[in-house]
Every structure is written in C-alpha cells, then in structure tokens.
Chain A
C-alpha cells in the first residue's frame, strides 16, 4: 500500500487536496504533515502552496521542512501544486525572494501591458477560472486527459523555466505561459487538480499510479 505525504507548512487548507486524492486512491495512506520524517518515509509527496510565495518560503523554513522537501524531490514521485510549483524555481518577482532552486528560472507576474483580450477588453489578474492546458510533452500524468482539457487556475504569477525542455504544458492568457513542468520524478503544475473536476481527479489518479 502506498503512502502519500501532503506537506503542510501552514499555508492554506489542504483538506481539498487530501480529499481529492482519497477519492481516486481509496487504498492509499494519506498523511497531511509538517513532520520531515513523515515526508521522508512517504512513497510519494505532494507539495502544495497558497497565498504569497514569500510567506510560503518563510513558513516552510520556520518548520524546518526545506531539507526534507529537497531530499524528496531527488527521487520520490513528487507533485508540486500552485505556489508549490513556483517554489521549485530559483527566484520570484513576488516579494523578490529566492525559491528552492531545484529548477533554473524565474517566477514572473503577468505583464500588465499584455493583459488584453482579442476583443480589446482587459484581461483580469488574478487569472481565475478554467483555462485550456496544452500538453507539450508525452507524460504518464496526462494519461486519459485530452490535450487542451480545461483546469482551474487562480494565480497572478507563473513560472518561466530557463530550460524549455522542462515545459510539460502551456496555457494562453494574454501571453503563453508555462502551466506544468516535468523532469524525472518531479511533476509540477500551476493549476489546481483538486478543484478541476474530472480532469483534475484523473491527473491525481495518474500521479498515484506513477512509477518514474
């Protein structure tokens, strides 16, 4: 039986993520935890995040979780969600803070001058709602999910990887931006699978079966 640790560093409610995973993997042991040992002993790790990245980085370190996250990201099936994706990168424009630096690249804010729809109306920030996710590489986590399927996004910043080979999906909002990145045992997404109805549940189910 597989044990999945959802890393809880006090930033937002993780109940929905846990419930969604429970829904698709009823035989799995799901722990929502701030204990580094629990993270290190898990078979799979989910790294979520909500709010502002500077707060998330501070709270992660306040709980002494950084070493466990870096260790888990080396070899366990690892799913970053929202700010949990952004934190994997080197640096964020939000609060001008460094991230964990697992991936090279910057977290950027949607550029105000590009936030214009085709009909000339203003595109709102945060980017909030269901948008199309265009798959840029074949990946087990896309199994059973149509290219261009809609997922629920809510964010004002997005990741800009230095290495284009990391990009697993893009979404268009004024500009094309990176919606998902993948490398070896890590898959990280800006959108919220736990709030994305059937497509989101499929992705979580794929993650729970994934053997990178």
Chain B
C-alpha cells in the first residue's frame, strides 16, 4: 500500500534555515544541507523548502542551497516561495528540486500553472493554497501570508488548478498556522474529497496526533509540519511510529 507521507518544511532565508513564530524573531537554525540530512536520517519522506528571503538580491541563493542538498539527500525535494514564472520553475528544477510550489503567481495568473505543467510535467507542479474560513463549511483563498483576500472559494480553486495540470496541492489553513491547535480538518477533507490529485495538509500541527488526524479525519495524502520537528519536540520517526500505531500506512 502507498504510505502516507510526512514532510518537514524548512524556512530558508538568504541561504540559512531560520525559525521563528509567525515570521517574528527569526533565528538562525543552521545549514540547510545539515538540517535536510538530519530529517532524511529520521525517515522524512520528502523535504520542502520555503524561501522567505526578503531581499531580491539574495533570491538566487536558494538555487545554490537546492544544488547542495540534492547532491547529498536522495529523497524528493520541493521548493516554494517567490516562484512567479515558468523560468523560475525551470531554474529550481535544474538546480535539483523535484517539485516546485507556486502560490500567489497562480492566483494572479492561473495560466502559469498550465504553462508550467505543460513544460515540465504535472508531477513537478505543486500549487500552494492559503485558506481562511469565511463561513461554516466555506473557505476563501488568501495571499501574502493571509493578508490579502482573493474572493476565490478554496474548493472551486482547488478543482480549477487541478484541471489546469497541478500535480499536487499544498493546503495551509491560515486560521491554524502557528496555533498548534491542529489542522483545519474540515478544510482538508473538503479539498481532498473534491480533487483527484494528492493533497498535503499544513498549518497548525502541535502534536503527533494532529499529524495522524490530518490523514484519518482530513483524508490528506501527506502532512507537512515545521516547528514540531524544528524545535526538537519530536522526530519524524516518532511521528511515524505514532501514525503506524493508529493504523496508518507509513514508511518506517
């Protein structure tokens, strides 16, 4: 059986892993290659890098990071953050990324999803959706870290980008992000049931049980978390052991 995936997410700024709460008080948390290797050793199924480099001068640094990691860590790598054009996608793939995540650019111009998938294949294209609940059972797509409304319904948007050729959806609840209260399971389930492509749940993980809930109740195909692994609270292996104990198929 196909295993449910656990994906640690690393925020990278100007070539260093940083950690902080809600993008405030960012602290240096090490060399991306070292951190990625550690997660690989713990049994991470993939690794996602989110480039949060503020200065445009430093944006190419992420390419070097990806090159170095891809030389030493032989599991899939996804990179997102500031990806706007098909050229951006190609550069990251050529550096060694396996998948590239597009967020705001897809909202501004959905055609970029189709163009990118047409050029490099759907399997390389992840569309990231930042969602906020606006009514019971209803969520809206936001951009810019949850500040800008788009007017798009999350479920309809998910179906649209799937039909445009996205290979996977990275779904983040902006209501839960940073709260440690667990995934928005209603949101996760609504999107996962509405599309035929895999959905990665994100935002709000505070315990290992939350990861398992994302799969069992949210029907996510993969679960992504940052702080629960970064701050040394838990290892990926512990997460997998708990998921297995709860009857979830994992790679251990």
Contact = CB atoms under 8 A, between A and B. Distances in A.
Interface of A: 12-13, 15-16, 19-20, 23, 50-52, 115, 121-132, 150, 152-156, 172-173, 194-197, 200-201
A129 B197 contact: no
B98 A173 contact: no
B199 to A, nearest CB: 8
Contacts, number: 94
B-side interface mostly: loop
Contacts of B67: 15
B83 interface: no
A122 B196 contact: yes
Interface stretch (B21-29, B70-78, B106-114, B144-152): B70-78
Contacts of A155: 123
A127 B123 CA distance: 10
Contacts of B222: 129
Interface of B: 1-5, 40, 45, 67, 70-71, 74-76, 93-96, 98, 120-124, 167-168, 193, 195-199, 219, 221-222, 251
A121 B45 CA distance: 22
A44 B122 CA distance: 30
B217 to A, nearest CB: 11
The 7 closest A-B pairs by CB, nearest first: A51-B121, A130-B251, A124-B198, A130-B3, A154-B123, A131-B2, A150-B251
Residue of A16, A125, A201 ringed by the most chain B CB atoms within 10 A: A16
A115 to B, nearest CB: 8
Given A16-B98, A122-B196, A197-B40, A127 B2 contact: yes
Contacts of B196: 115, 122, 124-125
Contacts of A194: 74
Contacts of B219: 121
A152 B93 contact: no
Residue of B45, B74, B123, B168 ringed by the most chain A CB atoms within 10 A: B74
Nearest to A195: B76
Nearest to A24: B74
12 contacts: A13-B93, A13-B94, A16-B96, A122-B193, A122-B196, A128-B167, A129-B3, A130-B45, A173-B2, A195-B76, A197-B74, A200-B74
